[in-house]
């Protein structure tokens, strides 16, 4: 891991070619929150392919408009959700429709990180 960063709505763990984001409980993720995360992309992954992993251990909501903006990140090569929670997985299936990037859903972080490494080959 390169860095662990804490914001008022999430924790971000930065690795060489993927980031793992854990949102806080009860957050309603909106475009202004997303701009913090896109700034991280510019700082850590400028011109370098990477994968975004959201580790959904807490309950929160996402404004679907975020996915339209996220799809514009050229060096984002994949997006995945990690959760064992049925509702979180069902929500992710709907979110998948809004993102124009490879999008997968996994039960565990090792599955997600293996997929990230594979998609970046």
On the question of pLDDT at 10 being above 90, the answer is yes
Q: How many domains does the chain have?
A: 1
Strand pairing report for 103-106 and 61-62: unpaired
**Residue 76: which CATH number?**
3.30.750.24
Q: Please state, in angstroms and rounded to a whole number, the distance separating the CA atoms of residues 16 and 2.
A: 7
State residue 58's pLDDT score. 95
Q: Please state, in angstroms and rounded to a whole number, the distance separating the CA atoms of residues 9 and 32.
A: 11
State residue 1's pLDDT score. 76
State residue 89's pLDDT score. 95
State residue 34's pLDDT score. 82
Range of the structural domain that residue 26 is part of: 3-119
What's the pLDDT tens digit per position in 31-88? Answer: 888 888 889 999 999 999 999 999 999 999 999 889 999 999 999 999 999 999 999 9
On the question of pLDDT at 2 being above 90, the answer is no
State residue 20's pLDDT score. 98
On the question of pLDDT at 106 being above 90, the answer is yes
- φ/ψ (deg, to 5) at 111: -65, -45
Task: Compute CA distances 86 → 7, 51, 103, 110, whole Å.
Answer: 27, 23, 17, 19
State residue 7's pLDDT score. 95
């Amino acid at each position: 891991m390169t860095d662990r960063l804490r914001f008022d709505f999430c924790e971000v763990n930065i690795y060489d070619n993927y980031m793992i984001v854990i949102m806080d409980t009860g957050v309603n993720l909106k475009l202004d929150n997303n701009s913090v995360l896109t700034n991280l992309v510019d700082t850590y992954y400028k011109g370098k392919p990477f994968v975004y992993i959201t580790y959904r251990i807490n309950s929160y909501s996402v404004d679907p408009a975020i996915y339209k903006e996220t799809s514009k990140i050229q060096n984002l090569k994949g997006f995945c959700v990690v959760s064992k929670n049925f509702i979180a997985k069902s929500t992710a299936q709907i979110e998948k429709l809004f993102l124009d990037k490879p999008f997968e859903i996994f039960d565990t972080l090792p599955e997600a990180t293996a997929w990230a490494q594979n998609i970046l080959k």
